[in-house]
Amino acid sequence: MPELPEVENTVRFLENKVLQKTFLDVWTDFKKMIKKPKDFGEFKKGIKGKRIEKIWRRGKNIIFGLGSKYLLIHQKLTGHLLLGRWKLENGKWQSEIEGPLKKDPMNKFLHLIFYLDSGEQLALSDLRKFAKVELLSKEELEKELEKLGPDPLERGFTLEKFREILKKKKRGKIKKVLMDQSVISGIGNIYSDETLWKAKIHPLKEISKLTDKEIERIYFALREILTKSIKLGGESISDYRRPDGKKGDFEKIRSVYRREGEECRRCGAKIRRLKINNRSSYFCPVCQKL
């Protein structure tokens, strides 16, 4: 699933490419992806003629400011936005642009396409078709976003704020707490694993048993890992691709996520995997003792 760095990269790319562009039309072959309004005809009517005045991220959500309306896209498990030009050939969308948009199979699951006045198309490729798309009023957007915890890269997310969050939460395994979007927004499996490995904290450790020093290590590890991943374009070990269709390069420094059986880059022990709420978690049994 695209997490904070992947979503941030998508937003930064689109800010440079589609701001002040206008939606002319929209196509889909999977209307269930549109959650609000549920009627696709109403959604299309609400999109057509709207200019993109602002684009930003909140947690894992991408938000397009369209005047009095807001387009919210959550890419969920396998979705990613692409910017390019496609044409329909024999019932399949084919990229008119050479390179990864045309060759990478992960960029071929197009289920939602927005037509822009620049002649380009903004497409959502989503293998599993779990993505959520909503056209909201300001009040509806605020209600949606108030469910989310603070962003770990925003200016107000200080070490003191992080301590306060954990103290208020009181109970829970640190891995699960980091991934709880109502506590901290934007973190998922990849960056919780990478953060805890760097901080030398076992994913099953209870937050009530964390020392001040351990909390500090988690805080600075989280900020460092997220910042590095953003600079590297995110992680593309699975489905995520940048809007130009290219892969992110976080793979170059990935230390623990999906490295079961491989050597720990710090101590040489074999990386292990365990299940937490049916989600895989990767850790070093030597560096991250419980």
Note whether 271 and 288 are within 8 A (CB). no
**Which member of 3, 6, 134, 144 is catalytic?**
3
- Marked catalytic residue, from 87, 92, 279, 289: 279
Decide if 243 is catalytic: no
Indicate if 89 belongs to the active site: no
The answer to whether 45 touches 142, Cβ cutoff 8 Å, is no
Tell which residue, 78, 59, 64, has the closest CA to residue 114.
64
279 is catalytic: yes
Measured distance CA(228)–CA(218) in Å, rounded: 15
Do 244 and 83 form a contact (C-beta atoms < 8 A)?
yes
Angle, in degrees to the nearest 10, between helices 212-232 and 159-169: 120
Query: What are the beta bridge partners of residue 58?
Result: 61
Which of the residues 50, 57, 60, 175 is marked catalytic? 60
Q: Which two tokens stand for residue 59?
A: 């947690």
CA-based nearest residue to 236, from 4, 25, 44, 6? 6
A 10 A CB-CB count for 261 gives: 8
Task: Yes or no: say if 155 and 185 are a contact pair by the CB < 8 Å rule.
Answer: no
Q: How many CA atoms lie within 13 A of 221 on its CB side?
A: 20
Six token digits for residue 187? 């973190």
Collapsing DSSP to helix, strand or coil, 152 comes out as: coil
- Residue 152 catalytic? no
| Angle at alpha carbon of residue 258, lines to 253 and 259, rounded to 5° | 70
Give 51's strand partners: 22
What residues are annotated to the active site? Answer: 2-3, 60, 279
